[in-house]
Chain A
Amino acid sequence: MSAFFEYAFLQRALAAGTFIALSCAVLGVFLLLRKDAMIGHGLSHIAFAGVALGFVLKLMPLPVALAFSVVASLGIMKLKESAGLHGDAAIAIISSVGMALGIVLATLAGNFNVALLNYLFGEILAIEPAEVALSVGLAVVVLLVVMRNYRTFMYLTFDRDSARVSGIPVRRLDTWITILAAITIVLGMKVVGVLLVSALLVIPAAAGLQLASNFKTAIVLSGAVSVVAVVVGLVAAYVLDLPASGTIILAAFVLFGLAFALKKCRS
């Protein structure tokens, strides 16, 4: 553990990883209960295209991916509402197009270089100071927006029609939730990569939901699982010389397993 006090790159990874994982877990609880967990998978593919575009334009990939994903998330919403598509078809279409675009743009950017592969598989240990500031800042914004709208998001998730009749602007809040999901996905991509980022949304939230007796506890437990997973994952990655993305998600899965076992023991 002393290495975490010595090496700046580990401190950066811990700071960014903790805040990003926390925002993913908190938002993940709402997405899971809205039966919208797949949006994380879809948006991660879009984010990949955004990263590739950043490389083509020779810009910082994270802000480009952010802008790209937010626009695409609104596109998914529009497609879901107006195209009369069934189930997750809109997400499937947009995510496939995103990945296809990512492959084409990555090729135009000079093929699949290491930096691009880092976004695909995640490399939190290589996070730059500017990216830490951006990530922590945005994660705090996501957490504040969720806290500010905590009850209305919960009402909207639990009973949409009643929420509408009580005057809640459900479409506007749907848009907010989708935009927040796009932001957290892009941030999470830096921690665990495109391929695993949806796990950062789903697994801690699913673990928290196993044990929670009320909504507040679900949020707190999910957040706690995500933070512990990041810390344990980073320590394991450093000590065992393994990729942090893999160890973080595996740690989250072990915590989910413990929560599941505890629930079974209780019942």
Chain B
Amino acid sequence: MDSIADKPETLIEVDRVTFDYGGPPVLLDVSLSISAGDFLAVIGPNGSGKTTLLKLILGLLKPGRGRVRIFGTDLEAFHAWEKLGYIPQKATHFDPLFPASVKEVVAMAIRPPRKIGAPRKEEESAIRQALAIVGMESMQNRRIGRLSSGQQQRVFIARAIVNRPQILFLDEPTTGVDAETQEHFYALLGRLNKEIPMTIVLVTHDIGIVDRHVSRVACLNQSLVYHGSHAEFCRSEAMRDMLAGGHLVSHRH
């Protein structure tokens, strides 16, 4: 039995959260917690509230009822944003003519931003390290719009981890990316989770491709249908219902 001292720290607590966009509730009474070291996949059918839940956790939306706590602090009072990294849905759907180099894209996320005239040595090192982790160091002067979707996603991971956050949130990061690149992408996330180690929260509808790396699953369908280990989820009724309803995709390569 684990002692209290061995129990991983709870980083995120979602407590009885309900949310709507002015119509019927998108999320109803959802409670879940995310612990340090988790690699959590948030899954569910289209419109089940996965992205909404992520946005509520990140403070991009405010819950109608309930509350969210990050690192033990109510979201309204939370300021340590450098502890979080985020890659939004359709991150690669930016203006392709935007004139930013790979290095500039990573540098824009550095917190706190460098003041005019401040030394740039530490920043340069952080950017180089983040790009090295995702294998994009050699492309730092390339224009972001001229890279493939897979390369762009790796740059966005570098941007999200440049401040060495404790939690990385990703919303459907591999949409429109070919199967081989997806495999490399999830392997990279697996390494970040195990080696750094970084807590990862991934919204996806593809449980098959992540099953080698994910440790926990939260299955949503307006309310929380399942929240537990990945192994148990594979044997659960929730998984069978989701696959039978065609709500999840299971790509195995």
Q: Which residues of A contact B113 (CB under 8 A)?
A: 149, 151-152
Give the Cβ gap from B60 to chain A, nearest Cβ, in Å. 6
Q: How far is the CA of A152 from the CA of B81 in the complex (A)?
A: 14
Query: Inside 8 A of A20's CB, which chain B residues have their CB?
Result: none
* A82 on the B face (CB < 8 A): no
Tell whether, in the assembled complex, residue A158 and residue B86 are in contact, meaning their CB atoms are under 8 Å apart: no
B163 nearest in chain A by CB position? A166
Cβ 8 A contact of B99, one of A159, A163, A214 = A214
CB of B99 within 8 A of CB of A218, answer yes
Task: Report the minimum CB–CB distance from A202 to chain B (whole Å).
Answer: 15
Q: How far, in angstroms, from A164 to B61 measured CA to CA in the complex?
A: 11
Q: Are A154 and B104 in contact (CB under 8 A)?
A: yes
Given contacts A165-B81, A166-B81, A214-B143, contact A151 B116 (CB under 8 A): no
Q: A155-B109, A215-B99 are in contact. Are A161 and B104 (CB under 8 A)?
A: no
- Which residue of B59, B95, B101 contacts A214 across the interface (Cβ within 8 Å)? B101
B149-174 interface mask toward A, CB cutoff 8 Å, 1 = contact, 0 = none?
Answer: 00000000001100100000100000
Contact B111 A166 (CB under 8 A): yes
Q: Which single residue of chain A is at the shortest CB-CB distance from B103?
A: A214
Residue of B nearest to A35 (CB): B95
Q: Write out the residue numbers on chain B whose beta carbons fall within 8 Å of the beta carbon of A163.
A: 108
In the bound complex, residues from chain A placing their C-beta under 8 Å from that of B163 are 166
When C-beta atoms are compared, the residue in chain B nearest to A221 turns out to be: B99
Measured in the bound complex, the distance between the Cα atoms of B162 and A108 in whole Å is 59
Query: Are B86 and A162 interface neighbours, CB within 8 A?
Result: yes
Q: How far is the CA of A164 from the CA of B169 in the complex (A)?
A: 14
- Contact call A151/B94, Cβ cutoff below 8 A: no
Main secondary structure of the interface of A (DSSP, over half): helix
Interface check B114, CB cutoff 8 A: yes
Taking CB atoms, residues of chain B closer than 8 Å to A217 are: 99
Q: Does A216 contact B (CB under 8 A)?
A: yes
Partner of A151, one of B60, B107, B160: B107
How would you classify the secondary structure of chain B's contact residues: helix, strand, loop or mixed? loop
Q: Are A154 and B100 neighbours in the complex by a CB distance under 8 Å?
A: yes
Q: Mark B87-103, 1 if CB is under 8 A from A, else 0.
A: 11001001101111101
Question: In the complex the two chains form, what is the Cα distance from A209 to B145 in whole Å?
Answer: 13
Q: Is B105 an interface residue (CB 8 A)?
A: yes
**B105 neighbours in A (Cβ, 8 Å):** 158
Let me know if B206 is at the binding interface, CB within 8 A.
no
What's the minimum C-beta distance from A259 to chain B, rounded to whole angstroms?
Answer: 13
As a 0/1 sequence over residues 151 to 182 of chain A, the CB contacts with chain B under 8 angstroms (1 = contact) are: 11011011101111111000000000000000
Contacts of A213 in B (CB 8 A): 99, 101, 141, 143
Contact A167 B114 (CB under 8 A): no
CB distance from B31 to the nearest CB of A (A): 22
Chain A CB within 10 Å — which of B79, B105, B108 has the most?
B108
Q: Which of A154, A161, A167, A212 contacts B111 (CB 8 A)?
A: A167
Q: Residues 216-260 of chain A: 1 if any B CB is under 8 Å from the residue's CB, otherwise 0?
A: 111000000000000000000000000000000000000000000
Q: Which 10 residue pairs are nearest across A and B when measured between Cβ atoms?
A: A167-B81, A214-B101, A155-B108, A212-B99, A165-B86, A218-B99, A161-B88, A165-B58, A215-B100, A151-B113
A sample of 6 more A-B contacts (CB under 8 A), given A167-B111, A213-B99, is A147-B116, A149-B113, A158-B94, A159-B91, A161-B88, A165-B84
